[in-house]
Amino acid sequence: MITGGESPRQPYEKYFEWYSNQDRAHLIAKSRDAENIFRKTGITFAVYGHADSSEKLIPFDIIPRIISGREWRKLAQGIEQRVIALNAFLDDIYHKQEIIRAGRIPRELIERNDAFLPEMIGFRPPGGVYTHIVGTDIVRTGEDEFYVLEDNARTPSGVSYMLENRETMMQMFPDLFHANKVRPVEDYPYLLRQSLASLAPPGCKGKPRVAVLTPGIYNSAYYEHSFLADTMGVELVEGSDLRVIDGKVKMRTTRGYEAIDVLYRRVDDDFLDPLTFRPDSALGIPGIMDVYRSGNITIANAPGTGISDDKAIYSYMPEIVEFYTGRKPILENVPTWRCSEPQSLKYVLEHLEELVVKEVHGSGGYGMLVGPTATKKERADFAEKLKAKPANYIAQPTLSLSTVPILVNKGIAPRHVDLRPYVLVSDKVQIIPGGLTRVALKEGSLVVNSSQGGGTKDTWVLED
Amino acid sequence: MLGRTANGLYWMFRYIERAENIARLIDAGLRMSLTRSGTGDDDWDGVLQSAGVRETFDEGHSKLTSADAIDYLLRDRSNPSSVMSCVDYGRNNARMVRTALTRETWEATNEFWIELKSLLSKRLKAAEMPEAIDAIKHRAGLIRGAFHGSMLRNELYNFARIGTFIERADNTSRILDVKYYVLLPSVSAVGTSIDNIQWESILRSVSAHRSYSWAYDGEYRSMNIADFLILNGQMPRSLAYCYEKIVSELGYLAKDYGERLPAHDTADSIRKTLQTRAIKEIMDQGLHEFLEDFVTRNNQLGMEISDGYRFYA
C-alpha cells in the first residue's frame, strides 16, 4: 500500500484516509467480530492430517486488497486470453493434436500424463466448453507486472470466501463502501447458474436442471459446495444420490427418480465414474461417462481438463497461448525448470537455496520446498527426493512478490499475497471483478495456502 | 427434493426437539430433588426412564446418583439421547441439508452447537445447572423462531415439522407412561401433597405447570392432568395437538404430491382416537395400555412416512 514508505499507492488513497481516522483498538475488536461472523456461519475447512481439528477457520484480514480499474483491465484481458487458449488447447489435445504435430509440445508429455484422459478423445463437450469455471492464480511483482502461477482448470475452490469476505466487510464497514466505488462480486452465483444452464446437453428438453456434486460433509470444501448450491438455488447431491437410469443421470427424490441435466461436480476425475476410472470410488456415479458421451448430461468442468493446468504443462503456456491466439501472452509465466531435463536438474540442484521446488502433481502447498527459507537439512533431504524422481518436480525462482498491508496488533505490516480471480466460460468469458486474495500471515513467508497458515482478504476492484 | 434431504431435515428437527425435551426432564428432576426431603436419587430413576435411557445408564454405572444421572443425560456422548449427542446429530444433519435451510436457521443451529460444546466441556456443578438448562431452552427457541420466520412454506417445512411433532408426541407419551401410576384415580381420589409434587413434576417436564393452572382453574387433579397432556388441543405438547399438526402437514404434502399414502390413513386414525375418546374412558380402559399403544402407532407412522416419501440416509 505504501510506495517508498511515504504516500499510499493511488488505489489505496481513500482507504488510507479512512484508516487514519480509525481507532486501532476498535479495528482489532472488529477483526474479532469478523471471526465470530465466520464461525457462526460455519465457514470452515478441514485440514488433512489433523485429527482433532476437523473444522477450522481461515484467518481473515480486515484490510481490503485494492486494485485500480486500470490495473484490472489489463489483468482481465490477460486472463481472458489465457482461458481462451486453455479451451482451444484442450479441444486440440483431444482431437487433432495439432500442437504436438507442430512440434511445440512433446507427445509423451501429454500421452504419459495421468491427467490426460483417453476417454475424452474425439468427444466434444456441449458448447465446446471444457473449463466452465477457472481460477487463475496470479502474483504481482511490480507496477503492471503480473505473473500467472497456476491456471486451476479442474475444480478451483475458494469462491465462497470471495463472496463471504465481501459480505462480512459490507456488514462491518458500510461507510467504506460509500467512500470507495467497489465493483460488485455478489452476482457470481447467479452468473454461474446462468452460465451452467446455457451449456445444457443436447438431450435436455425444457429448463435445464442443475446440481452440485460434492464428496460429502467430510470434504474440506463442503461448506463451499453447500454455499454454491444454496446461493444458486439448485440441489446439492452426492454420488450415492445419483444413478444412471434409462440413459440419464437421475437423483433419488421424495417423488422418485428425477433427471439432472448439468452437473457442477466438485469431485475429481478419478472418482467420477467407477466403471471408467477408479473402480474403488464410492464418490462417483457408475456409468455417468456413458451418459456424458451420449449427450445426456453436461459435466462441469469437463473430465480431462487437468491436462491443461498440469505443472509439467505450465512451462509451455507461453507457447500454448501464442499457438492458439496468435498473440504474445499478456500475462507473464514464471520461468520454470523442468527437472526431467538433465541440464535443468543440474541447475536446480546447484541453486536450491534460491528456488521453489514443487511436485508436478501436487497441490495445496504440500510436498514443496521453499529454498530461501528452508534449513540446510531440509534442502539436503529434498535434493535426495529430487534425484530419485526428477520428472516429479519443477522449480521456479522465488519472485519478489508485492506485499499488501495487513492489520497486526502494532498497526499495519506488509505481507505477501496472491490473487485468484474467477472466470466463467460459456459462449462468452466472464471474469468476476475481484477474486480471492490469499495472504501469507507469517512475516516474510511466501506460502499463502490455507493449509499452511495463510489467510484471506476482501479484494476490491475500483470503478475508475 | 432428495430423499436424503427429507430424511436429514426430519431427523434434524427430531434431535433438536429431543435435546430440548431432555433438558426439560432434567429441569423437572432437579426441581423434585429440591422439594423432596430425604434422598433425591430415586427421582432420577424416573427421569432416566422417561428419557428412555434407564437401561443403558446401568451399563456404564454401578449405582445411580443424581450427579451421574444428570451428567449422563446432559453431556455423555455414549448416550445417544444426551443433550450433547442430540445437538451433535441435529447439527450434523443440518450440515448435510445445509442447502435446505435458510441462513438464519442454520446459524441458529450452528450457534447452539458452538455454545453447548463450550458450556458442557466439563461436568457442571449443581449451581451451574439452571443457567445451562435455560441456555438450552433459549437456543432451541431461537432455532424454532428462525425456522418459522424465514423458511418457505413448502415440502421442506412440512418434513421438518413432522419430525418435530412425532418426536414431541413420543416424548410426552413417555413422560406420562413412566408416571402413569401416580395419575391413576385408584391411588387416591384427592391429591396428597406428595401427589401434588409428582404431578407438578410431570407438568414441569413439559413446561406447562403455569398454563395448566390457567386451563383447569388451578386444581391439581390426576384426571385433568392426563386430559391436559393427552387430549387438550390448546396445549402445544399434548398428543392431540401434535396430531393436529402432523395431519395438517401431511395434508399439505398430499396436496403437493397429488397422492395420499398409507401414512395419511394412519395419522388420521390416530387423530380420530384423540378427538373422540374422553379421558375418563381412556383411564377406565387403562392409561398405561393406551400410552403403550400410542407409542407403537406413533413409531409406525414415522416409518410409514419414511418409506412413503423415500427417505434414505
ipTM value for the complex: 0.81
For residue A172, the SS3 value is helix
Decide if A237 and B2 are in contact by the 8 Å CB cutoff: yes
Average pLDDT score over residue span B32-47? 72
Position A54 scores a pLDDT of 58
> Are residues B125 and B260 part of one domain?
no
A226 part of contact set with chain B, CB < 8 Å? yes
**From B188-192, B200-204, B260-264, the region with the lowest mean pLDDT:** B188-192
Locate A234 and state its grid cell: 439448485
Give the gap in angstroms from C-alpha A41 to the nearest C-alpha of chain B: 6
Q: What long-range pairs does B177-181 form, CB within 8 A, spacing at least 24? A: B177/B288, B177/B291, B177/B292, B177/B295, B178/B46, B178/B49, B178/B50, B179/B46, B179/B50, B180/B287, B180/B288, B180/B291, B181/B288
Chain A residues whose CB is inside 8 A of the B95 CB are: 42, 217, 222, 226
Lookup result for grid cell 463471504: A164
Q: Do B124 and B165 fall within a single domain?
A: no
Do A82 and A321 touch, CB atoms closer than 8 A? yes
Structural domains in chain B (count): 2
B35 and B127: one domain? yes
pLDDT above 80: residue B37: no
Q: How many CA atoms lie within 13 A of B2 on its CB side?
A: 28
> Do residues B157 and B131 both lie within one domain?
no
* Same domain, yes or no: B250 and B295: yes
Residues present in chain B in total: 313
Going from the C-alpha of B175 to that of each of B51, B118, B189, B196, B230, the distances in angstroms are 8, 29, 21, 16, 11
How far apart CA A54 and CA A49 sit, in angstroms, is 9
Residues B121 and B269 in one domain: no
Distance CA B16, CA B5 (A): 16
**B216 and B141 co-located in one domain:** no
pLDDT of residue B29: 85
| Stretches in chain A below the pLDDT threshold 50 | 1, 4, 50-53
**What's the CA gap between B289 and B295, in Å, rounded?**
10
Say which amino acid occupies B210: R
Do B120 and B35 belong to one domain? yes
Q: Which domain covers residue B58, as residue numbers? A: 1-151
Q: Is A254 in Cβ contact with B155 (below 8 Å)?
A: yes
Q: Do residues B27 and B35 touch, judged by C-beta distance below 8 A?
A: no
Share of chain B above pLDDT 90, in %: 71
Nearest to A16 by CA among A87, A71, A66, A89: A66
C-alpha–C-alpha distance, residues A146 and B269, integer Å: 72
Of the residues B136, B151, B166, the one at which a domain ends: B151
Same domain, B172 and B118: no
Spatial CA neighbour of A43 closest among A167, A134, A137, A175: A167
User: Taking the model in full, what pTM does it have?
Assistant: 0.87
pLDDT of res. A273:
95
Interface test with B, best of A254, A258, A264, A266 (most B CBs within 10 A): A254
Is residue B295 predicted with pLDDT exceeding 50?
A: yes
User: Which of B107, B130, B151 is the last residue in one of the domains?
Assistant: B151
Minimal-distance CA residue of chain B relative to A236: B99
Residues of chain A with C-beta less than 8 angstroms from the C-beta of B305: none
User: Which pLDDT does position B236 carry in this prediction?
Assistant: 95
Would you call A255 an interface residue with chain B, using a CB distance cutoff of 8 Å? yes
Residue A58: the pLDDT is: 86
Kindly identify which residue of chain A lies nearest to residue B257, measuring between CA atoms: A255
Q: What is the pLDDT of residue A449?
A: 79
The mean-pLDDT minimum among B9-13, B219-223, B226-230 falls in: B219-223
Per the CB < 8 A criterion, the answer to whether A379 and A338 are in contact is no
Check whether residue B239 and residue B140 sit in a common domain: no
CA–CA separation, A260 and A237 (whole Å):
10
Say how many Å lie between the first and final Cα of chain B, rounded. Answer: 14
Report yes or no: A120 and A98 within 8 Å, Cβ to Cβ: no
B106-137 confidence digits (pLDDT tens)? 999 999 999 999 999 999 988 899 899 999 99
Tens-place pLDDT, residues B229-287: 999 999 999 999 999 999 999 999 999 999 999 999 999 999 999 999 999 999 988 99
**Distance of alpha carbon B178 from alpha carbon B223, whole angstroms:** 16
Chains A, B: CB contacts within 8 A come to: 57
- Contact between residue B221 and residue B191 where contact means Cβ atoms under 8 Å apart: yes
Q: Which residues contact A4 (CB under 8 A, 6 or more apart)?
A: none
C-alpha cell at A332: 507473464
**Does the distance separating the beta carbons of B95 and A217 come in below 8 Å?**
yes
Both B147 and B24 in one domain: the answer is yes
Pair (B124, B172) in one structural domain: no
In A, residues 67-126, which contact B (CB 8 Å cutoff)? none
pLDDT band per the 50, 70, 90 thresholds, residue B218? confident
Of B151, B167, B189, which residue constitutes the final position of a domain?
B151
**Ramachandran class of A304: left when φ > 0, alpha when ψ lies in -120 to 50, beta otherwise:** left
